[in-house]
Amino acid sequence: MTNETRSYPGARTPDRTRRVDADGVGIAVHEWGKESDPVVFLVHGGSDFARTFDVFAAKIADAGWRAVAWDHRGHGDSDYATLYSWDADIRDALAVMTSTTSQPAPVVAHSKGGALMMQLAEASSYRVSKMVNIDGMPSKRRMPDVPDHDQSRLLAGEIGSWLDYRHDAPTAIRKPGTLEDLAQRRAKMNPRLSIEWLEYLVTVGARHDSDGWRWKLDPTMRFGGFGPWRPEWSALRMASLTMPFLGLLGTVDEPMGWGARARDVMPWIPQGGRLEVLEDVGHFIHIEEPDRVSAMVLEFLS
């Protein structure tokens, strides 16, 4: 069987790939740039892949950086796992970072990746020298004024629902389709991205089986795959960060986005940090505007 291929302007295959053992879970790591260049970590979002950085990472690498990204567990070429959670993803991230450098390094993280890296940076600030958060800044919502035992009961119900889903999902198999089918399905979630990009994404984020293409995503995961979570947890962590911080926020809502607004996010930006709002841009800022965003990030990293 011959795999179909697609190209996309500016997209570049990683210069190196490797695997990291994260406590028994194999994590696929992709790198652009020279191994001797300073490290910057790129962190993808939920239901995404390290290869979504194929254009952006190439621009960062060409400016003299070793751009290191990895597929989260259950995503892309990393192993599927029996557990998906925020803490598991953070342990995987630390395994990748430790395998790459012993020094603090900057992090550029998108969506779920941004919220994850804020939690990691709060707990292990020695690992992160600077942080760029690309539309991964959920705003703090008002919690209902209910007693603590009722809040615990509500969270327990959410956890129970998530575990029930995990119990029923292991026999699920992703529906196959043509390369074009998968791109059209993804277009419902990424309506602002060109069909040319989405078809390219299929070729790096899906596998070609005998009966068609399937996304390389564990079907046992819910969207995002990180279990029970509250947006205010990330807001509070963001406010406490001590390293230089740059937040990038789009203004156009998309199905995969947080729907955060600048007025809601701004009070939680760390002291000395900066929030840049890009008008008429959706959730995938670094894919819609790779030249503009890479220039902003490189200026910040310098």
Chain-wide mean pLDDT for the chain?
Answer: 90
**Mind listing the pLDDT tens digit for each residue in 57-76?**
999 999 999 999 999 999 99
Distance between CA atoms of 209 and 119, rounded to whole angstroms? 37
Give the model's confidence band at 224: pLDDT under 50 very low, under 70 low, under 90 confident, else very high.
very low
Residue 59: the pLDDT is 98
Burial 179-205 (b: 16+ CB within 10 A, else e): beebbeebbeebeebeeebbbbbbbbb
**Domains within the chain, CATH numbers bracketed:** 16-141+223-301 (3.40.50.1820)
Confidence class of residue 235 from pLDDT cuts 50, 70 and 90?
A: confident
Confidence tier at 159 by pLDDT (50, 70, 90)? low
CA–CA separation, 106 vs 39, rounded Å? 7
Averaged pLDDT for residues 185-212:
97
Cα→Cα distances 4→15, 276, 300, Å: 21, 39, 39
Output the pLDDT for position 145. 45
% of the chain at pLDDT higher than 90: 76
Q: Is 100 a residue whose pLDDT tops 70? A: yes
Mean pLDDT calculated for residue range 154-180: 74
pLDDT at 153: 61
Percent of the chain residues topping a pLDDT of 70: 86
Global pTM? 0.91
